[in-house]
Structure 1
Amino acid sequence: MKTIEYFKLQAKNLHKDFKTQKPYFDSSLGDNLFEYSPKFFDVDALVTDFEIHENHFTLMNAQHIIARLGGFEKWTVLLKANPEALELSKLLFDNMHKISIEEWDMYISGEQDEKGFLFDDEFKLDIFKAVFADVDGHQSGYDYRLAKRDKPSIENQKIKPMEKKSTIKITTLPLGEKDHKEFIEVADRKFEHTLQSIEHAHPELVRKLWNPEQYIEEVIKADMLPIDRDYALSLVEAFIINNIIDLATEADKESITIN
């Protein structure tokens, strides 16, 4: 399903939820209110947080809310967005349980201020994938989707095979020879993949500046011990984009000096 069609479906689902609206009189407030029987979204929370006018909620209104949940100012901006911005928007929508739009805006703004330049949509997309979409453990304040908040039934839990979890822990630093070798291989592989994806103007300079041993020491620190080995590897992959941003900035400065 194309991203635009995906958002259109979400807007239709939200509109359907609003159409379950039933008026009732709240004697404690002395006012007429509405109640809902939604299937897709927490309508009451959306009404409060987005100050929605409940009396005349149209499909156009639903589209506007969905666009906001995807990080766009309004629906027409979403429709005109480039592919990278749309993909990022879908990831923001699908991962609202990990990070809210406000938290993402603050995060990316802070990164841009620290690095001293504005990121394009493709760069933002790479950062989101590396730091949030592909990494568990993040949790935002609220998820407006009902289905994502439902817990599996007891029957499903019984028939679902138990996921095998890692029990290997890293308890001391520096890493042992075997772990050190694997962590370096993972870091090098992720570095090269990420560097190619951002298509930096001076990749050879960035590669020259890359120091996997130093990077791993910066990510895995003594105060984090003991730490699950697989989780530590995921951190090495997740935060490599931040290191590449620093190296890319330094490479840009070097290229200016050389030229």
Structure 2
Amino acid sequence: MKTIEYFKLQSKNLHKDFKTQKPYYDSSLGGNFFEYTPKFFDVDALVTDFEIDENHFTLMNAQHIIAKLVGFEKWTEILKASPAALELARLLFDNMHKIRNEEWGYYIRDVENDNDITLDDEDKLDIFKTVFAEVDGHQSDGYDYRLAKSNKTSINNQKIKTMENKSKIQITSLPLTGKDHAEFINVANEVFENALQRIEHEHPESVRKLWNPDQYLEEVLKPDMLPIDRDYALSLIEAFVVHKVIDLATLADDEVLEA
């Protein structure tokens, strides 16, 4: 299913949930309210968080809410978005339990500010895939408004998942030593070479001379991040290497010009 059609389906599902609306009178609060029997979304939570007008909720309103959930201000922005931005939006929706759109926005701003760069849609998509979509163990501090996903998960599966998360290996001290250091260096060197090939730099050997994997590990893994899940830490090594390679390539170009 194409991404646009996928979001149209989610909008229709949300609209269907609102159509289950039934009015009731709450004597303790002394007012009229609505109750719902939704199948796809937690309507009550959406009404509260997005200040939805329950008396006039249309399919267009549903499209607006879905757009908000995946990082757009309005539905028309989805229709004009790049393929990479659309793919990222779908991943944000499908991984709402791992990270909410607002959290993702803060995460990207920190990456851009810390590295003094501006990420394009392709960069953001690559980072999301590497750090969140393909890595288990993340848990959003926000609310997952979807019901369908959680309803499909049995209590036993939830218990197993919890046990798996608790058993994950943690890195508790830096700098890395022993087997951890060796593996992280190998991963850093491997992703460096992959990134260098991707940018097709004119002077790759000059870039390689500037590459220092130990220094790169120190730049990515900071003491204030501890303790950190080992798999997550490895994913960060891959996530930020492209920007490191670009920085080194720029330095290499400067050295060539000065020579």
Q: Normalising to structure 2: TM-score of the pair?
A: 0.79
CA distance in 2, matches of 1:77, 1:224: 35
Contact kept in structure 2, 1:99 and 1:139, CA below 8 Å: yes
User: Quick check: 185-194 or 76-85, which moved more?
Assistant: 185-194
Name 1:145's counterpart in structure 2: 146
The residue identity in structure 2 corresponding to 1:175 is T
Contact kept in structure 1, 2:112 and 2:119, CA below 8 Å: yes
Alpha-carbon shift at residue 253 of structure 1 (Å): 4.7
User: Quick check: 75-84 or 145-154, which moved more?
Assistant: 145-154
CA distance in 2, matches of 1:71, 1:123: 16
Alpha-carbon shift at residue 252 of structure 1 (Å): 2.5
Contact kept in structure 2, 1:219 and 1:236, CA below 8 Å: no
Alpha-carbon shift at residue 51 of structure 1 (Å): 1.0
Name 2:230's counterpart in structure 1: 232
Identity of aligned residues (%): 62
The residue identity in structure 1 corresponding to 2:215 is Q
CA distance in 1, matches of 2:45, 2:165: 36
CA distance in 2, matches of 1:131, 1:52: 33
Contact kept in structure 1, 2:100 and 2:143, CA below 8 Å: yes
Deviations 1:13-32 (A, max 9, x none): 11111110001112233221
Deviations 1:179-205 (A, max 9, x none): 5443333333333445556x4766835
User: Quick check: 136-145 or 72-81, which moved more?
Assistant: 136-145
Name 1:53's counterpart in structure 2: 53
Any residues of structure 2 matched to 1:74-223 within 5 Å, and which?
74-135=74-135, 136-150=137-151, 152-153=153-154, 175-176=177-178, 179-194=180-195, 199=199, 204=204, 206-216=207-217
CA distance in 2, matches of 1:17, 1:242: 41
Contact kept in structure 2, 1:7 and 1:66, CA below 8 Å: yes
CA change 1:200–1:64 in 2 (3 A) is: farther
The residue identity in structure 1 corresponding to 2:243 is I
The residue identity in structure 2 corresponding to 1:39 is K
**Which segments of 5 or more consecutive residues in structure 2 lack a partner in the other structure?**
none
Residue aligned with 1:102, SS:
helix
The residue identity in structure 1 corresponding to 2:16 is K
Alpha-carbon shift at residue 92 of structure 1 (Å): 1.3
CA distance in 2, matches of 1:7, 1:255: 44
Q: Please say if 1:13 is aligned against 2:19.
A: no
Contact kept in structure 1, 2:25 and 2:32, CA below 8 Å: yes
Deviations 1:149-187 (A, max 9, x none): 347435778999x979978787887533x5544333333
The residue identity in structure 1 corresponding to 2:250 is D
Residue aligned with 1:119, SS:
coil
CA distance in 2, matches of 1:184, 1:54: 55
Residue aligned with 2:33, SS:
strand
Deviations 1:214-252 (A, max 9, x none): 33455667898998xxx5244123343234424423532
CA change 1:142–1:196 in 2 (3 A) is: farther
**Which segments of 5 or more consecutive residues in structure 1 lack a partner in the other structure?**
none
Name 2:25's counterpart in structure 1: 25
The residue identity in structure 2 corresponding to 1:183 is F
Contact kept in structure 1, 2:45 and 2:145, CA below 8 Å: yes
User: Quick check: 119-128 or 95-104, which moved more?
Assistant: 95-104
CA change 1:182–1:166 in 2 (3 A) is: farther
CA change 1:254–1:212 in 2 (3 A) is: closer
Number of residue-to-residue matches in the alignment: 253
CA distance in 1, matches of 2:122, 2:224: 34
Deviations 1:117-151 (A, max 9, x none): 32111111112222222232342321111133347
CA change 1:137–1:118 in 2 (3 A) is: same
The residue identity in structure 1 corresponding to 2:184 is F
Alpha-carbon shift at residue 109 of structure 1 (Å): 1.9
The residue identity in structure 2 corresponding to 1:153 is S
Alpha-carbon shift at residue 98 of structure 1 (Å): 1.9
CA distance in 1, matches of 2:223, 2:50: 43
